[in-house]
């Protein structure tokens, strides 16, 4: 499934946006670069994206301000005036500050946002090679790898279950062959040898034996009737 393209970001009364302004994104581009002089609003744009995607403003954190949401709105505005709207080619969502948390409408369209700030870049540069991944891992999309791993785990699980079922079936067949072999008088050196010999027997011979047994059974039934018939004749 393709990712929808970015269309527009609208920021109202958040941090440096003393008046509403919008940023249109160039259609069909996968990379957008925003540049400008100091105090021209670059940090406010990052704050707006983080406000929308993560419900916070990271530029104010770790500055000894405590809970920072009282500093999020522009000068002369209130928290209720903050609004960030994000448009893509097929959807629109907006974020506002509620009593305690950021509310995104509709919540299922909240974008995934990660911001790499100056302090984090410095930590990345200064970190040892083995620790650098910890600094950037949230920017690496491994969803495809995770999905493949999940599919592989499911496949392995299915194969294990199928193997267990197959082993159980083999054991059942083994037990059945042994039971038939014992019923047949344990002919041959073992059950499997006997079973192999039995599979090679001519079926027509068995049919002839079955017919002969049927005739013998009928004759036996007739013979069992003779004593009662003889007894009746003697009475007369």
pLDDT single digits (tens) 17-64: 888 889 999 888 888 888 889 888 888 999 999 999 999 988 888 777
12-21, 196-205, 211-220, 221-230: which has the highest mean pLDDT?
Answer: 12-21
Give yes or no for residue 94 having a pLDDT over 90.
yes
Mean pLDDT of 75-79: 90
Give yes or no for residue 135 having a pLDDT over 60.
yes
Give yes or no for residue 1 having a pLDDT over 60.
no
pLDDT single digits (tens) 172-189: 999 999 998 888 888 888
Contact by Cβ (8 Å): 60, 68: yes
pLDDT single digits (tens) 144-171: 888 899 999 999 999 999 999 999 999 9
Mean pLDDT of 89-105: 92
**pLDDT confidence tier of residue 205, bands split at 50, 70 and 90:** low
Domain parsing of the chain, residue ranges: 6-115
Arch. (CATH architecture) of 6-115: 3-Layer(aba) Sandwich (3.40)
- Give pLDDT, residue 2: 63
């Amino acid at each position: 499934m393709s990712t929808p393209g970015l269309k527009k970001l609208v920021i109202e009364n958040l941090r440096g946006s003393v008046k509403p302004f919008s940023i249109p994104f160039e259609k069909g581009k996968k990379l957008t670069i925003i540049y400008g002089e100091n105090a021209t609003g670059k940090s406010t744009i990052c704050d707006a994206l983080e406000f929308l995607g993560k419900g916070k403003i990271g530029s104010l954190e770790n500055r000894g301000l405590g809970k920072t949401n009282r500093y999020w709105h522009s000068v002369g505005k209130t928290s209720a005036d903050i609004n960030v709207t994000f448009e893509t080619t097929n959807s629109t969502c907006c974020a506002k500050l509620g009593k305690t948390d950021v509310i995104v409408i509709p919540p299922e369209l909240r974008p995934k946002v990660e911001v790499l700030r100056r302090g984090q870049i410095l930590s990345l540069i200064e970190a040892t090679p083995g620790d650098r991944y910890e600094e950037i891992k949230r920017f690496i999309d491994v969803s495809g790898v995770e999905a493949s791993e999940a599919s592989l785990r499911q496949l392995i699980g299915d194969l294990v279950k199928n193997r267990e079922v197959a082993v159980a079936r083999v054991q059942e067949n083994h037990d059945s062959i042994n039971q038939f072999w014992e019923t047949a008088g344990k002919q041959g050196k073992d059950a499997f040898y006997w079973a192999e010999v039995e599979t090679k027997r001519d079926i027509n011979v068995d049919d002839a034996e079955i017919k002969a047994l049927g005739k013998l059974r009928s004759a036996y039934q007739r013979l069992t009737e003779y004593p009662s018939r003889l007894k009746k004749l003697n009475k007369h």
